[in-house]
Every structure is written in C-alpha cells, then in structure tokens.
C-alpha cells in the first residue's frame, strides 16, 4: 500500500481522521501507530489530541489556531514510509483466573466452539495479543487477534452489568472491562489487576501497540493478588526489554 | 472552609468545565458543559476565565446556602430566587449578585433551555481528575466524587469572600437554538445513499426522551445505509452524527465515547454544538450542510462575539448592594 491509499476525512471543523483502511489488520494498525508517533513528535500547532484506532488516526485540533486545510497540508508529507518502522513494543503478562465463578460464559463458549472449557482457556492464554486501540470505556483495550477457533459474534443479550476486571472475547478481539459496565462480550475470566487508575499518569496501563499475554491463575492466587490490588500494592510492569 | 451547601436538590446538577482534554487516547471522554457558550457567558459575568467549572443543571437547579463570608454568583439560562435575611427576591439571568453568609439561592426553572449554569466568582476549590473538574459519572471522574450533587454536599469555594464592586449584566445574547443546525458531511457520508444525505438536510427531526449527556437521539425519517450499519470503530468528535441500524441519527455530545462503530454521516459545526445542549426532548431540529471552511468561519464569528461580550462586561451596570 502506498501513502495515496490514506484518506483524510473531515469530522466537522475540530477533527480529521487519517484513514488507512476499512478493515482490522495488523499492517493497517502498524501504519496508524507509526503516524501517531510521527505526529506526536511533530507537535503540529493547534493539534490538541491524537487518538489511534484500528484503522485510522483521529487528529483533534483547535479550529481557532489551525484549520482542516493546514492540518492536512502538514500531515500529507508524513504519510510516506510508515511501514516497518514500529518501535519496540512493550510486553505485558496479565494474570487471569478462569474459574467458573468468574468465567460466566466459559461453558457456553466451549459448547459453541466445540472445545472443552480447558481448551478454550488454553487457546486464549497461548496467544500474544496486539493492543489495537483503547476505547469504549476508560482504559478498555481492544486486543487481537483471537485464535480463529474462539471467534464468536457478540452475545445476543448484552449484560446490563459486567464486573470490573472481566476478561472477555467477541469477534476477533479480547478485552478487559476496566470498570463495571454494561457489555455484550463473552466473559472467560477475571483479572485482579486494574488496567485503569485515574490517579496514575497515564491513567491507562495499556497503550496501542503493546503486546499482551494472559497467564492463568487459580482462585488462591487471585485472592492474594486482589488483596494486594485493594491495598494499592499491585502495579503491573512491562517485561524488561 | 468557604462553601456553598446543597440544602435541596430535585434535579440533576453537576460540575462541568470546558472538558477533559488530552485523555481520549486512553478512552476517556472529553465531557464538559453541554452548552459551552452559556458556561462561558456565566463565567464572564463573574470575571472568571472561560474554562472555570460551574454548576450545570437540567430544567432547574438545587437550593444552595452560602457558608462563606460572601460569594458572587451569576446564572445563565435561568433566574435566581434569593432569600436574604427573610426577604426574597428574583435576580435575573445574566446578572451577577453578591450573597452573604446564610443567604439561600435557588436556580430556575430554566426559561427555555434544557440546561442552566451557575458560575461563582473565583470558582470551586476542588482538585478534579486528569486536569478537569468536569463530572463524568460513568467513570467517577471530576466534580464531587465523580457524581451529581446531592443534598448535604459542600461545594468548597476558592475565594473566602467576594469583594464589593459594581454588579455586571450579560449583554443580550440569543440562546434560542438555530432553526437549522449547520453540519459538515463526513467522515462516512459515503456509507449512505444519496437519498439519505438529502433526507438529513430536508427533514425535521424531534429530540427523543432517550437523549442524555452522551448523545441526542433523534426521531424522524430513517437514513438509509449504503454499505450496512457496522463499521470498524474509529474516532468520534463532538457533534458527530452516527446512524445505527434503525437509521435514526444520534448526535454525539459532551460525554460521547471516544470511538464508535456506527457510520457517521455528518458532523455538527463546532459553533452550533453548544446550542444542541439547549434543546429539550420534544424540540424540533433541522440541518443545513456547509463546508469545513464555512464551519471554521462560523466558529471564528462565534468567538468574536464572545470576545466582544467579555469586553462589554467590564462596564459596570449598577452598584452592588
């Protein structure tokens, strides 16, 4: 793909989306993240926020300090050579308890995929996921890609309350509910780690481009870690590079 | 501590400023005042910077008691009922008033708008979250413990007292929403039929009761998708008009999610977004298409009018009591 395939789309007079495609794939995401890095460094006048998504970079700007035409003019020369320049990714391991007490949909996912519950857990925790974007809830990471064996559409009846920490899957993605919230994904387990903390800078633990694996833990370990988390003593750190 | 104490609250009231910027990449909505123009006028009347947090109230406000030596306040969108030393009086919307310890004030009801704002001179002494006092209830951010006000709350004031000076009155400002709200087509207008684009511009829509600070749901002619109603999620803006499967547009407002998976046919011009916050359920709304350049010019014109208003407010209208 060449830079000519990127489209600069107006979102009114306060934002512009640089769209690289209409599908979810790793190559598109890498281009989005590479442009994000370039624009973050360029600090264009009047650009107030950058938001990487699956397939586009949202550039929020102050229309009193710049304009759509000016932002577009400054971005176009930066669209060349975005392939193969992604920086070294941070790698995280997130403990997850897949016990039926937390895994509200594990049995159903097993039935619908024709796997045993233990096999579902094995597939889910054997994959290294790419964080495509943070959205839906503060700190909520959209991670992919899920092993094809586990891909299911969202639940027909979304739950009105999904507990915070729930680890869930839908379509080709997996995610962690950072806050108690309504939700329609299939819940496979729960992590004692909080991926969102408004007192921390930045408040979200994960960022687009990060790589994530889930490590199965038992109920005892969950209880031990949850206690630490409640005391504010459980801070997840990325693996040493 | 100097404070305003909530002695009665019958409707939703919460602190809002101009929003929590710089956190969207972490999934944090911008929030902020639904009607940023009214917030800014209220702040100008009491001499605050534009972005000072004020109380945003739906339909009517709470009753507050002054627990400070004195405080100066002004409301936009509703008059104030003030009880001072046993005597009651009405203070018009847009006029500042200095109150003393023990005085009580009640905001509202709103004259025509959905929301009213109460600004206090010097603002509130609260820390906020992630750089803003704006209340975002879903994540418990900003305001008082990240929630709407309730009876008994103390709103700490940054200033211990308000100096005596001439009171100020906001110059006349038409808060009536425009008959036709200006929109810029895109980013996904190509996901709709030509007829859908035409329908959006030519139809009258009604504001639904299902609307909230996240989005204004509209009832009226459905808009026909050309390529289905699911897109791979991308970013949203204030005023994005997203269209889910039922074809009925939703205009995203202050608490909008940072990303969304429905195609967005158009985006309301930033100059007209504040007026959306004034529309009550049942109100009629229409749209008019303009260019991005047209939207940028409209915003500059709005800012010039607000700057002129602020300049005029430096002229005193009458002596303080």
Which range marks the domain in which residue B271 is found?
180-290
**pLDDT over 90, % of chain A:** 87
Residues of B in contact with A55 (CB under 8 A): 232, 234
Ramachandran area for residue B51 (φ above 0: left; ψ -120 to 50: alpha; else beta)? alpha
Residue A43 Ramachandran class (φ > 0 left, ψ -120 to 50 alpha, else beta): left
* Domain limit, last residue, from B140, B169, B198: B169
Give B25's DSSP letter: G
Q: Are B44 and B101 within one domain? A: yes
DSSP B182-198: EEEE-SSGGGB-HHHHH
Residue A72 inside a domain? The answer is yes
CA A38 to chain centre: 20
**Chain A residues touching residue B25 (CB < 8 angstroms):** 49-52, 134, 207-208
Is A165 domain-assigned? yes
The closest CB to that of A64, out of B269, B293, B299, belongs to: B299
The two three-digit tokens of residue B111, written as one number:
């004259």
Residues A70 and A151 in one domain: no
Higher-confidence residue of B228 and B29: namely B29
Model pLDDT, residue A3: 44
CB neighbours of B76 closer than 8 A, spacing ≥ 6?
B38, B39, B41, B42, B45, B93, B94, B116, B117, B119, B170, B175
Is the Cβ pair B269, A13 closer than 8 Å?
yes
Chain position carrying tokens 């104030």: B80
Q: Say whether both A113 and A193 belong to one domain.
A: yes
Q: Is the pLDDT of residue B169 over 50?
A: yes
| Best CA proximity match to A47, nearest among A64, A28, A29 | A64
A179 in contact with chain B, both atoms CB, cutoff 8 A: yes
Examine residue A18 and state whether it is found in any structural domain, yes or no. yes
Residue A76 three-state SS: helix
CB contact under 8 A, A51 and B25: yes
Within this chain, do residues A16 and A75 fall inside the same structural domain, yes or no?
Answer: yes
Alpha-carbon span A75 to A79, nearest angstrom? 7
Q: Is residue B313 part of a domain?
A: no
A132, closest residue in chain B (CA to CA): B233
Can you give the residue range of the structural domain that contains A108? 91-230
Contacts of B317 (CB under 8 A, 6+ apart): B95, B166, B167, B168, B169
**Integer Cα distance of A141 and A212 in angstroms:** 10
A235 pLDDT band (50/70/90 cuts)? confident
- For residues A192 and A195, what is the distance between their CA atoms, to the nearest angstrom? 9
Q: What pLDDT is stored for residue A163 in this prediction?
A: 96
Residue B230's pLDDT is what?
Answer: 87
CATH code for position A193: 2.40.100.10
Q: Across the interface, do B292 and A12 touch by the CB < 8 Å criterion?
A: yes
Q: Distance between CA A147 and CA A126 in Å, rounded?
A: 9
Residues A107 and A39 in one domain: no
Cβ contact, residue pair B235, A58, below 8 Å: yes
Is B96 found in the same domain as B240? no
Number of domains in chain B: 2
What is the CB neighbour count within 10 angstroms for residue B130?
A: 21
The secondary structure of residue A143, as a DSSP letter, is E
| Distance, CA of A111 to chain centre | 27
| Angle CA A93–A95–A99, to nearest 5 | 150
Q: How many CB atoms lie within 10 A of CB A101?
A: 11
Residues A74 and A97 in one domain: no
Q: Is there a contact between B186 and A11 if contact means CB atoms under 8 Å apart? A: yes
| Test the B interface: residue of A13, A21, A142 with most B CBs within 10 Å | A13
Residues A183 and A68 in one domain: no
Which residues of chain A make contact with B269, given a CB cutoff of 8 A?
Answer: 12-13
Report which secondary-structure segment, H or E, holds A150: none
What is the number of alpha carbons within 13 Å of residue A75 lying toward its C-beta?
33
Residue A9 near chain B (CB below 8 Å): yes
pLDDT at B228: 87
**What confidence score (pLDDT) does residue B319 get?**
46
Any domain includes B302? no
User: Residue B268 contacts by C-beta under 8 Å, 6 or more apart in sequence?
Assistant: A12, B181, B182, B183, B238, B239, B240, B241, B251, B276
**Residue A240 is assigned to a structural domain of this protein:** no
How does residue A203 score in pLDDT terms, banded at 50, 70 and 90? very high
Out of B23, B183, B270, the one facing A14 most closely (by C-beta) is B270
Q: Helix A68-75 vs helix A26-42: angle between axes, to the nearest 10 degrees?
A: 110
A197 lies in a domain? yes
Whether residue A60 sits in one domain with residue A38: yes
Query: Looking at chain B, how many residues does it have?
Result: 321
B195/B163 same-domain check = no
Residues of A within 8 A of B184 (CB-CB) are 10, 12-13
Rounded to whole angstroms, the maximal C-alpha distance in chain A is 58
- At residue B298, φ and ψ (nearest 5 deg) are -60, -40
**Domain identity same for B193 and B282:** yes
Contact with chain A for residue B245, Cβ under 8 A: no
DSSP letters, B260-285, are ESS-EEEEE-TTTHHHHTTPPTT-EE
Tokens of B55: 């109380």
CA R_g for chain A: 19
Q: Which residues of chain A lie closer than 8 angstroms to B24, CB-CB?
A: 49, 51, 58, 60
Chain A closest-CA separation from residue B280 CA (Å): 23
In this structure, the answer to whether residues A73 and A129 fall within a common structural domain is no
Average pLDDT, chain B: 95
| Residue A195 near chain B (CB below 8 Å) | no
Same structural domain, A112 and A177? yes
Q: Among residues B106, B237, B116, B240, which one has the least CA distance to residue B175?
A: B116
pLDDT at A80 over 80: yes
Written as six digits, the tokens of A89 are 């990714």
Report the distance separating Cα A126 and Cα A37, nearest Å: 29
Q: How many CB atoms lie within 10 A of CB B316?
A: 12
Inter-chain residue contact B25 with A207, CB threshold 8 Å: yes
Q: Does A18 touch chain B (CB under 8 A)?
A: no
B188 vs B171: CA distance, rounded Å: 40
List the structure tokens of B186. Answer: 């895109």
Please identify, among A47, A79, A111, the residue that sits at the C-terminal boundary of a domain: A79
Q: What are phi and psi of B303, to 5 degrees?
A: -65, -35
Those residues whose C-beta lies under 8 Å from the C-beta of residue B252, and which sit 6 or more positions away, are B214, B215, B236, B237, B238, B239, B240, B241, B242, B260
Q: Are residues A40 and A101 in the same domain?
A: no
| Mean predicted lDDT score pLDDT of chain A | 94
- Is A136 within 8 Å of chain B by CB? yes
- Touching check for A106 and chain B: CB below 8 Å? no
CB proximity A120 to B under 8 Å = no
User: pTM for the whole thing?
Assistant: 0.94
- Quick check: is A241 in a domain? no
Residue A84 lies in a domain: no
The answer to whether residue A237 sits within a structural domain is no
pLDDT at residue number B316: 55
* Nearest Cα residue in chain B from A181: B138
Are A96 and A75 in a shared domain?
no
CB pairs under 8 A between A and B: 145
- CA–CA separation, B182 and B303 (whole Å): 16
> Is residue A176 a contact partner of residue A166, using CB atoms and an 8 Å limit?
yes
- What is the per-residue pLDDT across B53-91, written as a single tens digit (0 to 9) for each? 999 999 999 999 999 999 999 999 999 999 998 899 999
Question: CB neighbours (10 Å) of residue A198?
Answer: 20
| Residue range B273-302: mean pLDDT, rounded | 97
Does a structural domain hold residue B309? no
Chain B residues in contact with A137 (beta carbon < 8 A):
27, 138-139
Is the pLDDT at A241 greater than 80? The verdict is no
Based on the structure, what is the number of domains in chain A?
Answer: 2
Domain boundary among A79, A109, A143: A79
How many Å lie between the alpha carbon of B197 and the closest alpha carbon of chain A?
Answer: 16
pLDDT, tens digit, 9 for 90 and up, residues A138-184: 999 999 999 999 999 999 888 999 999 999 999 999 999 999 999 99
A54 to B129: CB separation less than 8 angstroms, yes or no? no
Q: Decide if A15 and B138 are in contact by the 8 Å CB cutoff.
A: no
């Amino acid at each position: 793909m060449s830079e000519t395939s990127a489209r600069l789309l107006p979102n009114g007079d306060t934002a512009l989306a640089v769209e690289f495609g209409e599908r979810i794939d790793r190559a598109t995401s890498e281009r989005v993240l590479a442009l994000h890095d370039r624009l973050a460094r360029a600090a264009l006048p009047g650009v107030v926020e950058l938001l990487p998504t699956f397939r586009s970079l949202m550039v929020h700007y102050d229309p009193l300090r710049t304009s759509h035409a000016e932002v577009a003019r400054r971005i176009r020369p930066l669209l060349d050579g975005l392939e193969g320049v992604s920086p070294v990714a941070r790698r995280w391991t997130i403990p997850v308890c897949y016990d039926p007490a937390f895994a509200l949909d594990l049995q159903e996912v097993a039935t619908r995929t024709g796997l045993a519950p233990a096999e579902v857990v094995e597939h889910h925790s054997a994959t290294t996921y790419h964080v495509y974007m943070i959205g839906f809830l503060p700190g909520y990471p959209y991670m992919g890609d899920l092993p094809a064996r586990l891909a299911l559409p969202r639940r027909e009846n979304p739950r009105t309350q999904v507990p915070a920490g729930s680890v869930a899957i839908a379509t080709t993605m997996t995610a962690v509910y950072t806050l108690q919230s309504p939700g329609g994904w299939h819940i496979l387990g729960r992590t004692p780690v909080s991926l969102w903390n408004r007192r921390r800078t930045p408040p979200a633990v994960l960022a687009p481009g990060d790589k994530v694996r889930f490590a199965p833990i038992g109920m005892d370990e969950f209880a031990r870690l949850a206690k630490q988390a409640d005391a504010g003593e459980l801070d997840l750190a990325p693996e040493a590079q | 501590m100097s404070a305003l104490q909530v002695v009665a609250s019958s409707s939703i009231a919460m602190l809002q400023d101009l929003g929590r910027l710089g956190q969207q990449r972490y999934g944090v909505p911008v929030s902020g005042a639904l009607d940023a123009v009214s917030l800014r006028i209220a702040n100008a009347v009491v001499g605050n910077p534009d972005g000072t947090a004020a109380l945003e109230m739906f339909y009517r406000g709470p009753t507050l008691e002054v627990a400070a030596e004195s405080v100066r306040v002004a409301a936009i969108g509703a008059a104030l009922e003030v009880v001072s030393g046993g005597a009651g009086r009405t203070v018009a919307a847009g006029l500042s008033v200095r109150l003393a310890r023990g005085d009580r004030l009640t905001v509202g009801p709103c004259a025509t708008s959905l929301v009213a704002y109460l600004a206090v001179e010097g603002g509130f002494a609260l820390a906020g979250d992630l750089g803003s006092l704006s209340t975002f209830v879903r994540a418990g951010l900003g305001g008082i413990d990240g929630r709407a006000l309730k009876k008994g709350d103390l709103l700490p004031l940054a200033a211990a007292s308000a100096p005596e000076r001439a009171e100020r009155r906001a110059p006349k400002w038409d808060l009536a929403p425009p008959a036709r709200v200006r929109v810029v087509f895109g980013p996904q207008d190509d996901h709709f039929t030509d007829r859908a684009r035409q329908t959006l511009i030519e139809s009258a829509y009604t504001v639904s009761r299902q609307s909230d600070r996240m989005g204004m749901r509209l009832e009226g002619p459905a808009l026909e998708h050309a390529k289905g109603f699911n897109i791979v999620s991308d970013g949203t803006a204030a005023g994005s008009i997203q269209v889910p499967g039922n074809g009925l547009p939703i205009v995203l407002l202050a608490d909008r999610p940072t990303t969304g998976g429905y195609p967005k046919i158009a985006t309301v011009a930033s100059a007209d977004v504040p007026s959306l916050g004034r529309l009550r359920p049942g109100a009629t709304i229409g749209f008019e298409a303009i260019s991005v350049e047209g939207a940028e010019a409209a915003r500059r014109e709005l800012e010039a009018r607000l700057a002129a208003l602020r300049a005029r407010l430096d002229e005193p209208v009458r002596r303080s009591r």
